[in-house]
């Protein structure tokens, strides 16, 4: 019964709040695309709602509010600039929110079939306006910087295995009835493993990760982060 009551509380809170879901998928390897090549893919995974990562002194510790994870879908476009550099762009959408990521992949180490790259990026997530029970409209926005490190091994022409880590730091604001609250500073990060499957120009990228973020009580929680991508290289 306690579990049922907790689920009912979460569902009720979600129905009363806006969402600003931040994409926590990686969908990447350390191997840059060849110069002039492009990759376009669609993916589905999970994101975390920035609203539930803002510490709230009015929330009692016994409430233990969870980090809310929501499904996200998105598209990624990567372009090879030179053997060591790749431009990257991602857009994603979730319940009542959308966002994008712009960054680069820079190869810093290569030894035969092993690659290590760093991936700095700029991120933005914004919510559509939602109304609470009092008819007040709320808009949420998160702007941040992100850094990732990925280590990949090319196993064959068909398979590339990768392990990676990422940290994100964001500035989060809420606007309710034209009054801005914040900014609040939030951070989250995690680890992932994936396997790139290349079938000619077609790619499949299954991924599994875990993301760490603090809830409204400041307690760190771990959120599983599965994802799956499908795309084409040309």
Model confidence pLDDT, tens digit, residues 105-130: 999 999 999 999 999 999 999 987 65
Position 129 scores a pLDDT of 62
111 backbone φψ class: left, alpha, beta (φ>0; ψ -120 to 50): beta
Position 27 scores a pLDDT of 97
The model's pLDDT over 141-175, given as tens digits with 9 standing for 90+, comes to 899 999 999 999 999 999 999 999 999 999 988 88
The model's pLDDT over 9-55, given as tens digits with 9 standing for 90+, comes to 333 333 334 478 899 999 999 999 999 999 999 999 999 888 777 76
Taking Cα atoms as reference points, which of 88, 55, 56, 72 lies closest to residue 20?
72
Query: What proportions of the chain, in percent to the nearest 5, are helix, strand and coil?
Result: 10, 65, 25
Helix (H) or strand (E) holding 4, with range, is helix 2-16
Q: Is 27 exposed, middle or buried (0-12, 13-18, 19+ CB in 10 A)?
A: buried
The fraction of the chain above a pLDDT of 90, given in percent, is 62
Query: Is residue 6 pLDDT above 50, yes or no?
Result: no
Higher pLDDT, 132 or 197: 197
Mean pLDDT of the chain: 85
Average the pLDDT over 97-102 and give the result: 94
Query: Is residue 100 pLDDT above 50, yes or no?
Result: yes
Task: Please check whether residue 107 is in contact with residue 119, taking contact to mean a CB–CB distance below 8 angstroms.
Answer: no
CA-based radius of gyration for the chain: 19
**Domains, the chain:** 2-233 (2.40.128)
Query: Is residue 218 pLDDT above 80, yes or no?
Result: no
Position 200 scores a pLDDT of 94
Question: Alpha-carbon distance 95 to 71, whole Å?
Answer: 8
Helix (H) or strand (E) holding 27, with range, is none
Question: Alpha-carbon distance 20 to 51, whole Å?
Answer: 7
Question: Alpha-carbon distance 39 to 118, whole Å?
Answer: 19
- Residue 59 gets which letter from DSSP? S
Whole-structure pTM value? 0.85
């Amino acid at each position: 019964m306690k579990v049922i009551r907790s689920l009912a509380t979460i569902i009720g809170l979600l129905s009363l709040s806006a969402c600003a879901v931040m994409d926590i998928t990686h969908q990447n390897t350390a191997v840059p695309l060849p110069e002039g090549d492009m990759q376009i893919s669609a993916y589905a995974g999970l994101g975390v709602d920035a609203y539930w990562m803002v510490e709230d002194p009015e929330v009692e510790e016994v409430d233990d509010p969870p980090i809310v994870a929501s499904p996200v879908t998105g598209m990624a476009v990567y372009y090879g600039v030179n053997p060591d550099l790749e431009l990257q762009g991602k857009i994603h959408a979730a319940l009542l929110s959308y966002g994008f990521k712009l960054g680069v992949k820079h190869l810093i180490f290569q030894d035969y079939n092993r690659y290590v790259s760093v991936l700095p990026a700029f991120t933005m997530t914004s919510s559509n306006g939602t109304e609470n029970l009092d008819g007040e409209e709320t808009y949420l926005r998160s702007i941040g910087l992100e850094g990732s490190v990925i280590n990949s091994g090319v196993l064959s022409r068909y398979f590339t295995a990768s392990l990676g880590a990422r940290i994100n730091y964001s500035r989060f604001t809420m606007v309710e009835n034209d009054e801005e609250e914040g900014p609040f500073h939030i951070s989250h990060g995690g680890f992932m493993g994936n396997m790139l499957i290349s079938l000619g120009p077609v790619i499949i990228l299954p991924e599994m990760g875990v993301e760490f973020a603090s809830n409204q009580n400041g307690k760190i929680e771990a959120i599983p982060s599965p994802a799956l991508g499908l795309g084409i290289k040309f």
